[in-house]
Amino acid sequence: MSEATLPASPIGGSASSAAGASNATSAARAKAPQSQFRLIAACSLGNALEMYDFTVYSFFALLIGKLFFPSDSAYGSLLLAVATFGIGFVMRPLGGVIIGNYADRKGRKAAMTLTIGLMVLGTLCIAFAPTYASAGVFGSLMIVAGRLLQGFSLGGEVGAATSMLMEAGGVKGRGFRVSWQLASQGVSALLGALTGAALYAALPQASLESWGWRLPFLLGLLIAPVGLYIRANLDETHVAERHESSPVGRLLRAHGGTVLKGILATTAGTATMYLVVFFMPTYMIRVLHMPPSLSLLSGCVTGITLFVVSLVAGRLADRLPNRKPLVIGSLLFSVVAVVPVFWLISHYPSVPLVLALSALLTASVNIGTTPMFLMLLEMLPAGVRASGISVIYSVGVTIFGGSSQFIVTWLLAKTDNPLSPAFYMMVCGVLSLVALLSLRERKTA
């Protein structure tokens, strides 16, 4: 079935059932309108805390590699550490399917509460894992188990939270509401980098290795009381009726083409997120030989950039009749700019230059990321929206984001070419462009 003929209502139920579900959803919204501030706080703060727990690991990859994955070479330990970071992504598609399906069946609020509990369990495993020196491979396995739980949780969080942000209000302001999902990731990057920079600056190496590295994960456990409290009184935005088939099944049958193109369209954004925002501190230490405390400033700068640019992009998306040209323009610029940026960084390594160019790459890609997410949300009907965005985001991030740090670290070790991250990001950018050009903008309620 072509995209132009795809029905806007869910497949697998009668027209009256679809209408009933739509009326039920509208009634739920009208019954108890909630403040936009509470909605944004509930969705974005919980997401920021979950992303913090998930990504703070990357800022301590060098230490974790040394403590839990000893190797004969520094690159060997780092490879094992970033591979474990990538393992967390393996569970994200499964979490996206299961929790996204749950969000479309039981509601966004129920799914968002579930993800918080799962993330807490994963973070506990990492925070209290014994090192390889004290417990051998058991400690390494605890780190892996924690990453798997975190990945499963975050795979379902994004679809449920982003769908709720879009649905809890009229068409006007959708872009700005959705932009908070991406802006919250900037907050998490900033918090993780600030925590790491403060610890590296304040503690001697021996203290960092014995107990200091655990502090960020213990702080991340704040997700439990904060997240549960702010989501407790949240109003539901989607009330589903019983269907003969699962939302995921209906999604793949009716919107499989959109899902596949959506996955490919996310590649540039995920590669930039996990290489420029989260891997750049490691790149500055290992390749550019900069001090850890200074290198973590890149996480602070790119986190702030991601936060601001995402909100600006959301406002632009609300004002533009067509979002696709903005997304294409941002991708074209990033594809052209990425190699010169890394060439300058590697030939003239200085902290101010790295910070400025990292911010440029982050801004160039993410000015189009919010409009692209809004396009994908509007292409999917409410009955399969959380499942669709969960699958699109989790699969795209797993394939092109979760593997990016391992692939780039391997390329750096094998080729000793400091432009390796740029080549990987160029490939991802081209894939996104090809997929985006084939997508047709269309809107559902």
The SS3 assignment for 60 reads coil
Query: How much is the pLDDT for 444?
Result: 60
Query: How much is the pLDDT for 372?
Result: 92
Burial tier of 135 (Cβ tally within 10 Å: 0-12, 13-18, 19+)? middle
Residues 111-130 pLDDT 10s:
888 888 888 888 899 999 99
- Cα separation of 193 and 208, whole Å? 15
Angle at 356 between CA 432 and CA 368, to 5 degrees: 25
Burial tier of 27 (Cβ tally within 10 Å: 0-12, 13-18, 19+)? exposed
User: First and final CA of the chain: distance in angstroms?
Assistant: 21
Query: How much is the pLDDT for 18?
Result: 43
- Cα separation of 164 and 38, whole Å? 12
Query: How much is the pLDDT for 43?
Result: 82
- Cα separation of 265 and 402, whole Å? 16
DSSP 401-423: IITHHHHHHHHHHHH--TTHHHH
Query: How much is the pLDDT for 172?
Result: 82
Query: How much is the pLDDT for 17?
Result: 41
381-402 burial by CB neighbour count: b if 16+ within 10 A, else e?
bbbbbbbbbbbbbbbbbbbbbb
Helix axes of 108-127 and 223-232: crossing angle, nearest 10 degrees: 170
| DSSP symbol at 268 | H
Query: How much is the pLDDT for 24?
Result: 42
Closest CA to 353 of 365, 366, 340: 340
Counting Cα atoms < 13 Å in the Cβ hemisphere of 222 gives 12
- Tell me the average confidence (pLDDT) per consecutive run of 10 residues in the chain, 445 residues long: 36 41 43 66 76 74 81 70 75 91 86 86 91 89 89 87 85 89 87 83 88 88 74 72 74 90 91 84 86 79 92 92 91 94 92 92 92 91 90 88 84 90 92 92 67
Closest CA to 223 of 36, 47, 39: 47
Helix H or strand E segment including 122: helix 108-127
- Cα separation of 282 and 318, whole Å? 37
DSSP 205-250: HHHHHHTGGGHHHHHHTTHHHHHHHHHHTPPPS--PPP-SS-HHHH
C-beta neighbour count of 443 within 10 angstroms: 12
Sign of the Cα torsion 196, 197, 199, 205 reads positive
Give the predicted TM-score (pTM) of the model: 0.78
